[in-house]
Amino acid sequence: MNHSHDRPEESKVVLQPHDWAHGGHTVARTPEGRVVFVRHADVGETVRVRLTESDENAKLWRGDVVEVLEASPDRRDRHPWEPADALRAAALGRRPVGGAEFGHLGLERQREIKTGVLRDLLGGIGKFGPQELDQLAPRVEALPGEDPDGLGWRTRAHFAVDDDGAVGMHPHRSEDLVPVEGFPLMVPVLERLELHRVNLTGVARVDLAAPDGGRTQQPPQLILTPRSDSARGTVTSSAHGAEARDALIARLERDLLPHLDRVGPGTSVVLGPPEGRAGEHTVVAGQGHVVEHVDHHAWRVSAGGFWQIHRLAPGHLLEAVLRAAQPREGQFALDLYSGAGLFTAALAEAVGARGTTTGAVVGVEGSPVTSADAVLTFGDDDHVEVVRGGVEQVLARRWPGTVRSRGRRGSGGRHGRARTRPAAGSAVADGSRRPDVVVLDPPRVGAGKAVVDAIHALGPERVVYVSCDPATLARDLARFRHHGWAVESMRAFDLYPNTHHLESLVTLTR
C-alpha cells in the first residue's frame, strides 16, 4: 500500500511509530529524538506525517499520516467514513475530522490497542504490578450484536454549524470546520435525517438523540444551540434577543420542519439557549424529552440530559453493574454521578420494592436537567432519593462527622438540591445510615482524591466503578488501593468502536 498526497509547502517527516499512547495517538521519534504523536497510524508502520503542531519549544510534536509507505496488516483497505480518512483528506488538501480516529484499523486490532493502553495506564498511573495485571487480565470486549464494521451504534451525536448554515465537524485540536454529509457511526434513524440538506443559518450546534437505540417507533430529537454573535443570526442583548429567537424559530419552521416531515416524521426540535449561555429550552416541534427503556424500566431524559451513547450500552451495563454490585434486599445503595438513574432503577428494585423493605437508594447527580429528570422518574418511590449537587459536597452534608469537604465544587456539579420526598421514617430519611454498596459513574475527569476518600470513609462492602476514561480510572484506583481496597474484578467494553475510547467496570472490596 503506497498512497501519496503530499503538498510541497507542508512540513512532513517519515516516521516509524513504536508505541501507542492514550488519546488515539501512536508515538514516534524523529531522527533527532523529538517525540511526535501521530494519528491515523499503527505501530510498526512506516508513514509520512504532516506535522500539525511543531513548535521548536514544544515538548512534543503532533501530526497526521498523509502517506503509508509500509502498512500494518491490520490496516483496512477502506476507511468506513471518508471525512475521517486521513489519506482521503490529504488528497483533498485538508485534515481529517475527528470522531472515527481508529477507523483505519480493523476492529480486532482496535480492541487490542485499547487493551494495551488500559494495561499500560494501570501499570503506570495505577501502580499495578505485572503479576497483578496478569491476574486481572483486562481485555476490551465487543458488545454482543455489534455491527461487524463498528457502525450504526451512536444514539447521540452532535455537529457544529458553519457560517453558511451547513453541518460539519472539526479536525483534531483544530477550529476548522469541515462540512459533512452524514456520520455512519450513528444509528440509521439519525442518518436518515440528512441534516446536510438543510440550511441551519443562525445555529451554532445541533445535537441528535435517538431514544431506545433507534429500535422503537419513538421519533428522534434535535437540540439546536443558536449562535450568540449578532452578526451570525442572533442578538446577544436582552432587548433584541427575543426578536432574534423568534426570527430563528420562524426560519426553522419554514426550512427545517418540512424537511423533517419528509425524512423523519415526528422528530422533535428543541431550541436551547445561545451558545455559552444558560437558559430555558423552547420546544419548536414535538416534545422536550425522550423516554428510554431497558426491559421493564423507563427513564425520562430531557433535551441536554445525559444517556449512554451506544445503542446496546444501557442494557449491557445495567446487567454488568448489578452482577458486580450484588445488591441484596434491605441494603442501602449509593449511586454517585447517577445521571437519569440508569443504575438507580436496578439498585432500587434489588434492595426492595417500595414501602415493603428497609432497603434504600440515594442517587447523586450534579446536572440540574438530568437530576430533575430522575426526580420525575423516581418521584413515587419512597425508598429512592435523588439529590442534586457536587458529589463531594453532598456526601459531606449527609455524613458531616465522617466525610470532610474541602468546601469546593466537586466533579458532580452544582451545590443546589432537587430531591424526591421520602416518607418520614423511611429508610432514605435515615441520615445516620451508611451505604452497603456504592456505584459511581463519573465523567471523564474521574472521581478524584476527595470523592475516593469520602467513599472509603463511608465503609461500604463493595464499590463498583464505571469509567469512560482509563487514565483517570487508573489514578482513582491507585487511591483506593492506598486505602487498602482490592480490585476483585475488572471488565472493559468497546462502547465506542472506531474511536480510541473505552468503558471499564471495576469491582472493589476490602
The reply to whether 492 and 370 lie within a common domain is yes
242-250 average pLDDT score: 92
Write the CB contacts of 224 (distance below 8 Å, at least 6 apart in sequence): 200, 203, 205, 206, 207, 252, 269, 270, 271, 272, 284
Give percent of the chain with pLDDT exceeding 70.
90
H, E, C per residue of 70-99: ECCCCECCCCCCHHHCHHHHHHCCCCCECC
**Domain-embedded: residue 127:** no
Structural domain of 452: 310-509
**From 4-13, 337-346, 364-373, the region with the lowest mean pLDDT:** 4-13
Question: Do 368 and 273 fall within a single domain?
Answer: no
> Please, is 270 exposed, middle or buried when counting C-beta atoms within 10 Å of its C-beta (0-12, 13-18, 19+)?
buried
pLDDT for residue 22? 97
Residue 250: predicted pLDDT? 96
Does 271 share its domain with 374?
no
Residue type, 190: L
Give the end of a domain, one of 261, 290, 319.
290
Looking at the structure, tell me whether residues 342 and 481 fall in a common domain: yes
Secondary structure E strands in 303-369: 332-336, 360-365
pLDDT value of position 80:
97
More confident residue, 307 or 412: 307
Binding site members for S-adenosyl-L-methionine: 308, 337, 365, 441
With a CB cutoff of 8 Å and minimum separation 6, the contacts of 281 are 223, 270, 271, 272, 273, 288, 302, 303, 304
Per the domain annotation, does 85 fall within a domain?
A: yes
Whether residue 339 sits in one domain with residue 286: no
Residues 58, 203, single domain; the answer is no
As annotated, the active-site residues are: 468
Domain count along the chain: 3
Chosen domain end from 82, 101, 120 = 101
In this structure, of 39-53, 267-281, 362-376, 423-437, the range with the lowest mean pLDDT score is 423-437
Decide which of 30 and 238 is more confident.
30
pLDDT of residue 276: 85
Task: Report yes or no: 434 and 456 within 8 Å, Cβ to Cβ.
Answer: no
In a domain, 200, yes or no: yes
In this structure, the answer to whether residues 271 and 330 fall within a common structural domain is no
Q: Both 193 and 244 in a single domain? A: yes
SS3 of the chain: helix, strand, coil, percent, to 5 = 25, 25, 45
Residue 124 lies in a domain: no
The answer as to whether 477 is a domain residue is yes
Is 184 inside a domain boundary? yes
User: pLDDT tens for residues 74-91?
Assistant: 999 999 999 999 999 999
Query: Quick one: average pLDDT of 327-332?
Result: 96
Residue 354 is part of a domain; what is its CATH number?
3.40.50.150
Q: How crowded is residue 98: how many other Cβ atoms within 10 Å of its Cβ?
A: 18
Extract the annotated binding site.
308, 337, 365, 441
Residue 106 included in any domain: no
Task: List helix spans (H) across 424-499.
Answer: 449-458, 470-482
Tell me, what's the pLDDT at 354? 58
Query: How many Å separate Cα 104 from the centre of its chain?
Result: 22
Q: Are residues 384 and 497 in the same domain?
A: yes
Its sign, for the CA torsion 376, 382, 388, 390, is negative
Q: For residue range 102-130, what is the model confidence (pLDDT) as tens digits? A: 999 999 999 999 999 999 999 999 999 99
pLDDT grade for 425, boundaries at 50, 70 and 90: very low
Give yes or no: residues 35 and 84 share one domain.
Answer: yes
What's the pLDDT tens digit per position in 270-288? Answer: 999 998 888 889 999 999 9
Average pLDDT over residues 370-393: 95
- Check whether residue 324 and residue 439 sit in a common domain: yes
Write down the pLDDT at residue 412.
44
Q: What is the pLDDT of residue 279?
A: 85
Residue 409 banded pLDDT, cuts 50, 70, 90:
very low
What local confidence, expressed as pLDDT, does residue 242 receive?
A: 85
Residue 443 has pLDDT above 70, yes or no: yes
Q: Do 75 and 174 sit in the same domain of this protein?
A: no
For residue 472, pLDDT beyond 70: yes
pLDDT (tens digit per residue) in 157-176? 999 999 999 999 999 999 99
Q: Are 169 and 72 in contact (CB under 8 A)?
A: no
Kindly report the CATH number assigned to the domain that includes residue 278: 2.40.50
Taking residues 370-374, what's their average pLDDT? 96
Range of lowest pLDDT (105-119, 233-247, 389-403) = 233-247
Percentage of residues of the chain with pLDDT beyond 90: 85
Last residue within a domain, chosen from 290, 323, 345: 290
Better pLDDT: 231 or 114 = 114
In a domain, 3, yes or no: no
